[in-house]
Structure 1
Amino acid sequence: MSQENLHETTAAPKPDGPFRDRLLFWFIRIILAVLHLVPYPLRIRIGGWFFKHIVAPVAGYRRRIRVNLDLVLPNIDPVEKERLTRAVPENFGRTMIELFSPGEFLEIARKTTLNGPGLEALEKARVSKQSAILVSGHFGNYDVVRAKMIDQGFDVGGLYRPMKNAFFNDYYVSTISKIGQPLFQRGRRGMAQMVKFLRSGGTLAILIDQHMGQGAPLTFFGQPAQTALSAAQLALKYNAVLIPCYAIRQEDGLNFRIELEEPVPIGSAEEMTQALNDSLEKRVRENMDQWLWIHRRWKAAGSPE
């Protein structure tokens, strides 16, 4: 979700993948088309059910969730662990269908409440034309924050990592662009545009919870987790306020609550990034089923995945 505003979406690679990529793309398109025949609330529930009962077992997600939980929470209650192997894919499925339902999703985002001291800090930054960086993880539905802040008049942009399937990548980018623009593809050109935007006083939205081979050996849930320092480095270089933010799914499974935390105090890039990891860990512990435990987050810790 790393974002940036240049009023133009960076073009994704032209679809030129193998036949199987094209086949998978059309399979997903057909499923999404069928789902769009039903009302939004039912569509989201079906998406959660499909990922929970069909995708997760076939793709090996349940095993990966267990591996991650055993690594960082070896004493977790077995019943809770098994619950999470089903609840995590369900949240992921709901999130995916939400992102591919931009019209209804935007309506949900618009009525989502904003809470926390970070909102005041962000407002001050906007008034003084100071740049800001909103940092989150694959938690709840991270794009609710971006959609809500754009609706509130904030100039928010994002950097995305292109998918391996170029056919699906084009469709994905065109869809999430309807939630808010611009989006910038990770790479030299996209990063240059992102920096230009940030220097102009824009607000950037970034996810930092994926394994980065060239990242710093920080910790997450008490285990080594290679983490990109880029958010903190950009904040230090361009005097941007660095704010942890989260869109927390509510009990009805459809609505959210946004929390904007206190800005991270200025320090070294490592100290500031560790503070972001700690903030996310606290939120995950409060809502264990809303983080993407499917990620291979702890490769440096010797996870077999």
Structure 2
Amino acid sequence: MSSNGGSPNRSKRSWRKSLEGRAATFAFKLLCSVFARLNARQADRLGERLGRLIHRLSKKYRERTRANLAMAMPELSDAERARIAQGVFEHFGRVGADLLRTPSRSNEEVVEDIAEIKGDHESLLAYQGGVILISAHFGNWERLCQYLTILQKPVAVVARDPNQPEIAEGLARLRANTGVKVLPRGNAAREILRALKAGEWVGILPDQNDDEVFVPFFGKMVGTVMGPGVMHVRTGAPIYVAYQWRRDDGKFVLEVEGPIQPSPTRENPAEGIMVALNESLERMVRQHPEQWLWLHDRWKSARKRGLL
């Protein structure tokens, strides 16, 4: 027992966490400085290489990515899953690099890099009133927000802040450069309601683990938030889904679906919305599996509940 009543192990964990936080903050600031000086092609190549390096060094996330792929797509061979897993890290290395060079990324670049627009894009832009815009940690969602701002359709995005305050502030500044307002995930409900009632757009990425409701995803039950469905029922605001995914040539395709209707598989319309949203995301991820965040523990709550 230490003299101040705390355990040595707890003090050691606290010290390690503090050190990791300071290291992460230093790395973030350094990378911001580096990528802000690079052009798009240079940043893209360096981001891809960093992603490949992290794939090699991070056994935890490499194994989680492959395990998630094995569970969701058992029809793939080990070699195919290994290839996709490395592609995931390379892709998110590029996404991170692109985000960090936001100050030097012009509106013209963002618009010109969209090579194709599919789906209900015109319906979305024509709607007058509050919209719940759903995307995912897929493709390049950060550019999607900037594109909408360019079209005079700014989106207030619900996001979870990193544990390091300086990194959270840095990310908020980067996003503010594109006209995007960030709503902290923990207490965003009131701000979302206010924004929707004022006719504004709210962006939500509900593709990370939660335990509010369990819905099918890749043939397994997965825990997800209820927020988008609940907000739709309470306000009547339509839900649209938008994905901006990357082609092999580095250009992007923007796909829009909506307004989304509740799945008839659930009596509760809010739950039905969440079923429909996960069905939409699954269709997109199956087409471009290397562009979704497989390294996240998406099935954590379902596993704890014995649903897998």
User: TM-score scaled by structure 2?
Assistant: 0.85
Match among 203, 206, 220 for residue 205 of structure 1: 203
**1:266 Cα shift?**
4.8
Determine what percentage of the aligned residue pairs are the same residue: 26
SS at match of 1:285: helix
Alpha-carbon separation, structure 2, partners of 1:38 and 1:115: 28
Kindly provide the CA deviation profile for residues 264-293 of structure 1, in whole angstroms up to 9, marking residues without a partner as x.
125611111111101110000001111111
Q: How does 1:258-277 map to 2 (within 5 A)?
A: 258-266=254-262, 268-277=269-278
**1:60 Cα shift?**
2.5
**1:113 Cα shift?**
5.1
Which residue is equivalent to 2:236?
239
Which residue is equivalent to 2:286?
285
Letter in 2 for 1:299: K
For the 8 Å contact 1:131–1:202, the answer to whether it is kept is: yes
For the 8 Å contact 1:141–1:249, the answer to whether it is kept is: yes
Alpha-carbon separation, structure 2, partners of 1:115 and 1:57: 37
Which residue is equivalent to 1:122?
124
Which residue is equivalent to 1:297?
298
Sort the Cα spacing of 1:36 and 1:51 in 2 relative to 1 into closer, same or farther, 3 A: same
Alpha-carbon separation, structure 1, partners of 2:115 and 2:198: 28
SS at match of 1:302: helix
Larger RCO: 1 or 2 (CA < 8 Å, sep 6+): 1
**1:194 Cα shift?**
2.3
SS at match of 2:127: helix
Letter in 1 for 2:173: S
Displacement over 6 Å in runs of 4+: none
Kindly provide the CA deviation profile for residues 19-64 of structure 1, in whole angstroms up to 9, marking residues without a partner as x.
5422321123223323444322111111111111235533632111
SS at match of 2:58: helix
User: TM-score scaled by structure 1?
Assistant: 0.85
152-161 or 218-227, larger mean C-alpha shift:
152-161
Sort the Cα spacing of 1:300 and 1:135 in 2 relative to 1 into closer, same or farther, 3 A: same
Kindly provide the CA deviation profile for residues 128-158 of structure 1, in whole angstroms up to 9, marking residues without a partner as x.
xx21111111100112221111111114211
- Stretches of structure 2 lacking an aligned partner (at least 5 in a row): 1-16, 264-268
For the 8 Å contact 1:110–1:147, the answer to whether it is kept is: no
Letter in 1 for 2:72: V
Alpha-carbon separation, structure 2, partners of 1:96 and 1:69: 22
Letter in 2 for 1:256: F
Which residue is equivalent to 1:3?
none
269-278 or 100-109, larger mean C-alpha shift:
100-109
**1:93 Cα shift?**
0.6
Alpha-carbon separation, structure 2, partners of 1:20 and 1:293: 23
- Stretches of structure 1 lacking an aligned partner (at least 5 in a row): 1-16
Kindly provide the CA deviation profile for residues 94-145 of structure 1, in whole angstroms up to 9, marking residues without a partner as x.
111111111316443222256334223223322xxx2111111110011222
